Amino acid sequence: MPIVDLPEEAEMAAAVARIDAWAERELAAGGFLVAAERQEVTDRTASHRWYLRFKGDEKDFITVWFTLKQRTLHFEAQFMPAPETNQAEVYAYLLRRNAHLFGMWFALGPEDAVYLVGRVPARQVDDDELDRIAGSSVLYTDDHFPTAMTMAHPQSYRRRPRRS
């Protein structure tokens, strides 16, 4: 697909329409997206924000926030709360995992919680990119959550039995 330099408003309107249509199709398909909500942002930090809720294996639900900023789509999913124990080991584990992730990375957020985050140019938002973001968010959470939580919260976290 050729890259066209669109005016900012047209670029943003196209991205909003593509995200809305993708979410509608995914919900109708009855796959792993179970809820989607779009909000307009009035504090001038972004134009729109979506809350997308996916079914997970290791966590019941994985919520991914899409935030359409000036010319980028920022996405994030809260991965886990701040580690109670073994902080250095947990952070070292997650930093090492970053080298194996595509298009997103682990980062610290509010209250030292760990997030999966990333961003793409608004003009690159299409069904394939949205599928990649959603799939990666769920896959990376399901793959790395048990190990990180076992290290960070050994007294309260118990891994789920494998589903057949």
Polymer length of the chain:
164
The distance between the two most distant Cα atoms of the chain, rounded to a whole number of Å, is 53
Give every CB contact of residue 52 below 8 A, 6+ residues apart in sequence.
23, 33, 35, 36, 63, 64, 65, 66, 134
Domain assignment present for 32: yes
Domain assignment present for 58: yes
Domain assignment present for 52: yes
Least Cα distance to 134 among 48, 44, 26, 29 occurs for 26
Q: For 31-74, give the DSSP string.
A: SSEEEEEEEE--SSS-SEEEEEEEE-SSSSEEEEEEEE-SSEEE
The per-residue pLDDT for 7 is: 54
Residues 147 and 90: their CA atoms lie apart, in Å, by 9
CATH number at residue 28: 3.30.1460.10
Residues 111 and 24: their CA atoms lie apart, in Å, by 33
Could you list the residue range(s) of the whole structural domain that residue 28 is in?
Answer: 8-152
Domain assignment present for 2: no
Domain assignment present for 162: no
pLDDT digits (tens), the chain, 164 positions: 566 555 577 888 889 999 999 999 999 999 899 999 998 777 766 678 999 999 998 899 999 999 998 889 999 999 999 999 999 999 999 999 999 999 999 999 988 999 999 999 988 999 999 999 999 999 999 999 999 999 999 888 877 666 65
Instruction: Name the 3-class secondary structure at 105.
Output: strand
Domain assignment present for 1: no
Domain assignment present for 53: yes
The per-residue pLDDT for 5 is: 57
Least Cα distance to 101 among 129, 124, 55, 133 occurs for 133
Domains of the chain: total: 1
The per-residue pLDDT for 104 is: 97
Partners of 35 in the beta sheet?
53
Domain assignment present for 157: no
Give per-residue burial for 133-149: e unless 16+ CB within 10 Å, then b.
Answer: bbebbbebbeebbbebb
